[in-house]
């Protein structure tokens, strides 16, 4: 049985609100922790893909990478990362690669907080 270490309304590490994440899976804590584990694997991979896309400077590749990151952030109730990825995706779709690339440092910082929040949630698994 899992032990809840965080209060439901707490914004964990300034990145993920536990109550929103739990609501995504209709209150099922076990499934929520499965998502957390998946997030710990997926987030670094998607962030790396985003860095590579920005380095390549191709608007379409940036758009796809930002879209993928946005999807994961949305499912993890990571609102700040979601909003930043959305703005990056929209800039890339408008083929403004410079503007799109300018979001990368803020996304990296936001994803660092997401990673910390996921790690904290993972400790609930005990």
Partner 1 sequence: MNAKRVRLLHIEDDPIQRRVVAHYLQSNPDYQFEITGAADEETALAEFERSRADCVLLDYHLSAGDGMSCLRRIRGCDARVPVIAISGVATPEIAANLLREGADDYLDKQGLRRETLTSSIVTALARHRAWQRSSQRPPARLRMLVKRMSHLVRALDPALVGLAASLAEVAALSRLDDQEIADLLKEAGGDTLMPSIQVRLLCGMVRELLRPGTKDRPFNGDN
Q: Could you say whether residue 67 binds partner 1 (CB under 8 A)?
A: yes
Q: Could you say whether residue 22 binds partner 1 (CB under 8 A)?
A: no
Q: Could you say whether residue 68 binds partner 1 (CB under 8 A)?
A: yes
Inter-residue long-range contacts of 97-104, CB under 8 Å, 24+ positions, other chains counted: 97/57, 97/58, 97/59, 97/62, 100/54, 100/59, 100/62, 100/63, 100/66, 101/54, 101/57, 101/62, 103/66, 104/50, 104/51, 104/54
Nearer to partner 1, 76 or 81 (CB): 76
Nearer to partner 1, 77 or 120 (CB): 77
- C-alpha dihedral sign at 44, 49, 51, 52: positive
Nearer to partner 1, 78 or 105 (CB): 78
Binding region for partner 1 (CB under 8 A) out of 11-19, 74-82, 94-102, 107-115 = 74-82
Q: Could you say whether residue 74 binds partner 1 (CB under 8 A)?
A: yes
């Amino acid at each position: 049985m899992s032990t809840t270490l965080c209060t439901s309304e707490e914004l964990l590490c300034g990145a993920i609100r536990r109550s929103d994440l739990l609501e995504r899976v209709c209150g099922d804590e076990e499934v929520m922790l499965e998502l957390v584990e998946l997030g710990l694997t997926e987030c670094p991979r998607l962030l790396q893909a985003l860095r590579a896309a920005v380095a390549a400077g191709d608007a379409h590749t940036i758009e796809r990478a930002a879209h993928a990151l946005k999807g994961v952030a949305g499912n993890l109730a990571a609102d700040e990362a979601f909003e930043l990825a959305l703005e990056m995706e929209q800039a890339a779709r408008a083929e403004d690669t410079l503007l799109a690339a300018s979001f990368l440092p803020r996304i990296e910082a936001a994803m660092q907080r997401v990673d910390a929040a996921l790690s904290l949630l993972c400790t609930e698994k005990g």
